[in-house]
Amino acid sequence: MRVEAGTAELVEIPSVLERLSRRTRSETGKLMLQGMLPAVSVKGARERQDLLRSFMRYRDIRGEMTWDGRLKPLAPLFDSARETALLTGAELLQFRILIGLSKRIREDIRGAREEVPGIERLAEGIRDLEKELDRLQVISDDGQLYDHASKELAGIRSSLRDLTSRARAKCSELTSRANLAPMLQDRVVHFRKGRFALLVRVEDSGRFEGIAMDRSSSGKGVYIEPKEVVPLNNRIEILRGEEREEERRILSSLTAMLLEKESHIAETELALARIDVLHASAQFLDERNWILPELDDRSRFHFQNLWNPLIGQGCVPVSIHCGERFRQLVITGPNTGGKTVVLKSVAIAVFLALSGLPVPAAEGTLVGWIDYLAADIGDEQGIEQSLSTFSSHVRRIITMMEKAGRDSLLMLDELGAGTDPQEGAALGIAILEALKDRRSLVLATTHHNPIKRYALGSSGVETAGMEFDPVTLAPTFRLIMGIPGKSNALFIAERLGMPKNVIESAREHLLGEARTTEQIMSELFDKQAELESAGVAMAEERKELASLRRELEEKIKRINDRQEKIIGAADRRAREIMEEAERSAREMLSRLEGAAESAARKEYGKAKKDSQPLKERISRREESLAKKRIEREGIPQVGDSVRLGGTEAMGVVESIAGGKAVVVAGSMKVEAPLESLVIVREKPTPAAERMAPTLHAPAPRGVPSSIMVRGMTVDEALPEVEIYLDRAFRAGYGEVVVIHGRGEGILRRAVHSLCKSLPYVTDFRLGSADEGGYGVTIVSFRR
């Protein structure tokens, strides 16, 4: 989108961008946001929006992106490097910080490509500068060169440390000598002008052998370099010179390296600035009343609850649209009623939307493609050639008309003002007609009744008015679409106490046509008030009906849930009775052996036969309940909380394929047929998730903590279970779970018999209620 020269300043776009830029974390990001320009096409604006959405998705999944608050602009440093060929360690540190941050961000983005589609676009422009980063690691965080920057530097500094230590030790030894100690002002080793010295009393300075360097600030002492220390100080000074020369050589080499990579580093810096702009934009989207609007290819807009960010949350939001049924919108109303604010708000929002930035509006907002934005708002100061206010407006409008086309958006504030009202109104109408022929989008404000009448009587033109409160005599700043606003001058004068005869005389002086226009607008506003009152009443009724509907739905849900709980409780009790009978029969069978075995088996068979009808009734009821649940809730989907049929075990569906689902609970995964899963309302509690007991060590790689053999025959299941138990034991498990289901207990008994025969199995038991009940067996291994 092109923006006419001066328009951005007139509608205060730079001020808005400056406020947005306060959320950036780097100077480069701040400058980029303050200098933001709209995209050159709606496709480009959509791509910017998509990038912002990807950034927010990354942040939602992985948290805030890595950042370093020490970033500073590098352009001035490159200027200095080209001029001097030598950057200081502190300056080189800025390059190390930026390149290091870019590397971390690129690695983070690469790691998130599968989780956040499109996030790799964030890394575009971040160049591979790892070699340069490696060389810059010789710079410390305080901008100094490390000893290992070169072998020569390491050797020089090692010698310096040795000589410095010797010189300090020698000075300390001198302070302890009996013949010298009385001459000293103190027994401290001083460092003066880069050399070690002692502070000698003034009166003794002539007797102390050495080189006088300086007087103390008090004048009572003289800094003297002892004769014995002079050779050491000389050598230290020479080494310091060599150190400076070697440091200069290293810094110069690093500077040359960076200059060679200037373009790559500049691209990387811009890429990080873009990420910083996205961070700032995301901060606003986290707040209420900021959104990413829908973008459209057609030149139109529809703003819901648009507000001006320079006024703040106290701004009265407006809902305004243009470009569908009409291409021109004429806004009227009292002075200081908010007309100009509406124009600025729309211009700001269009600019932000087509720049891919958040817009201060509500959901449902749409912004179409605008290829040219221009505004004529307010009086312009300092106009060249001493033109009058009216002339300056006319010149600006002429420029706008020359450039305007079908996809243009023009803002005309106080159209026809600044000259004779009749001529101004006529000129304003002619301008609107000319722009109408060009199919441009136009938002205009005016006080002129002829322009209001033009808007009311012309196709493709709509009116809107700024509301005025007749009680408080103040504007409400609300925009009412479809109805022109009134000037209210006579009404305000009357309320303020203007004599009645003066008001009546003024009304007589109004032209008949103007008087009729004002009467029509007054009637329209009264009608609008009635419609709004009726609308509020209807909204309250709809709200009450919606509340009653929700209450009824909740009652129906509670009844259904209670019915399911009652039936489920009855079924569970029946299963418990049946299982208790089976258990008693099995115990009886195991107690009676030998001669009594035949009779016991006969009794067990009778008990089993007697329980069969009950099993069948329970099975039919479970199938019926399952069908009802599926009809009501549907087939389980990925992410649903479910219960495994035949057990109390609960988990979450991880994946679905081939009519089967993988259910996860804690560290265990189980594959089960979809029809055997029951959707549960609540998410599994920690207890319900424990389909397998807590293990003493994490699950060994490649060996699950459970095996599912439910639905298999004994011949099919036992080999699988034996192989699994052997692998689990060798993998180091303490306990594992065998899921065999309830059924008639045949498979369960076979599993138990197998466990008795395995030497490494020390114990086995049926699961507790929160581990899967009688549908699972917990197997413990020898440790």
Q: Name the DSSP class of 153.
A: H
Residue 706 pairs in a beta bridge with 737
Q: What is the mean pLDDT of residues 633-645?
A: 77
Q: What is the mean pLDDT of residues 182-191?
A: 92
- Which range has the worst mean pLDDT, 222-231, 382-391, 479-488, 638-647? 382-391
Alpha-carbon span 245 to 236, nearest angstrom: 14
Q: Which distant-in-sequence residues (6+ apart) come within 8 Å of 586 by Cβ?
A: 604, 745, 749
Residue 624: which pLDDT band, with cuts at 50, 70 and 90?
low
Check: CB of residue 625 under 8 Å from CB of residue 619. Answer: no
Q: Between 230-260 and 89-111, two packed helices, what is the crossing angle to 10 degrees?
A: 40
Q: What is the mean pLDDT of residues 342-354?
A: 97
Residue 385: which pLDDT band, with cuts at 50, 70 and 90?
very low
In terms of Cα–Cα distance, which of 701, 700, 702, 706 is closest to 720? Answer: 706
Strands (E), 342-460: 366-368, 372-376, 408-412, 441-446
Phi, then psi, of 595 in degrees rounded to 5: -65, -35
pLDDT surpassing 80 at residue 1: yes
Q: What is the mean pLDDT of residues 678-702?
A: 48
Strands 735-739 and 706-708: parallel
How much is the pLDDT for 519? 55
Residue 663 pairs in a beta bridge with 653, 670
Q: What count of other Cβ atoms lies within 10 Å of the Cβ of residue 403?
A: 14
How much is the pLDDT for 686? 45
In terms of Cα–Cα distance, which of 124, 140, 130 is closest to 104? Answer: 130
Tens of pLDDT, residues 58-83? 999 999 999 998 899 999 999 999 99
Q: What is the mean pLDDT of residues 38-47?
A: 96
How much is the pLDDT for 610? 61
Q: Name the DSSP class of 120.
A: G
Largest Cα–Cα separation, the chain: 129
518 against 559, higher pLDDT: 559
And the tokens for 553? 């739905």
Q: What is the mean pLDDT of residues 15-29?
A: 95
In terms of Cα–Cα distance, which of 374, 361, 435 is closest to 405? Answer: 435
pLDDT surpassing 50 at residue 447: yes
Q: To the nearest whole number, what is the mean pLDDT of the chain?
A: 83
Name the residue ranges covered by the structural domains of the chain.
Answer: 7-129+261-285, 151-235, 294-509, 516-587+597-621, 632-781
pLDDT surpassing 80 at residue 294: yes
Check: CB of residue 442 under 8 Å from CB of residue 410. Answer: yes
Q: Which of 356-365, 588-597, 732-741, 758-767 has the highest mean pLDDT?
A: 356-365
And the tokens for 486? 């009134």
Q: What is the mean pLDDT of residues 324-343?
A: 88
How much is the pLDDT for 612? 61
The residue whose two tokens read 């002008």 is 193
pLDDT surpassing 70 at residue 95: yes
- End-to-end CA, the chain: 74
199 against 583, higher pLDDT: 199
How much is the pLDDT for 502? 82
Q: Which fold has domain 294-509?
A: Rossmann fold (3.40.50)
pLDDT surpassing 60 at residue 341: yes
How much is the pLDDT for 31? 96
pLDDT surpassing 60 at residue 526: no
Q: What count of other Cβ atoms lies within 10 Å of the Cβ of residue 601?
A: 14
Instruction: Indicate whether this model's pTM tops 0.85.
Output: no
CATH code that applies to domain 632-781: 3.30.1370.110
Check: CB of residue 304 under 8 Å from CB of residue 361. Answer: yes
Check: CB of residue 153 under 8 Å from CB of residue 140. Answer: no
CATH code that applies to domain 7-129+261-285: 1.10.1420
pLDDT surpassing 50 at residue 596: no
How much is the pLDDT for 482? 78
Share above pLDDT 70 across residues of the chain, in percent, rounded to a whole number: 78
How much is the pLDDT for 165? 95
And the tokens for 314? 């106290």
Q: What is the mean pLDDT of residues 638-660?
A: 76
The residue whose two tokens read 């069948």 is 616
Q: What is the DSSP string of 576-635?
A: HHHHHHHHHHHHHHHH--GGGHHHHHHHHHHHHHHHHHHHHHHHHHHHHHHHHHHHHH-S
Q: What is the mean pLDDT of residues 350-373?
A: 97
How much is the pLDDT for 688? 37
Residue 211: which pLDDT band, with cuts at 50, 70 and 90?
very high
Give SS3 for 212: strand
589 against 605, higher pLDDT: 605
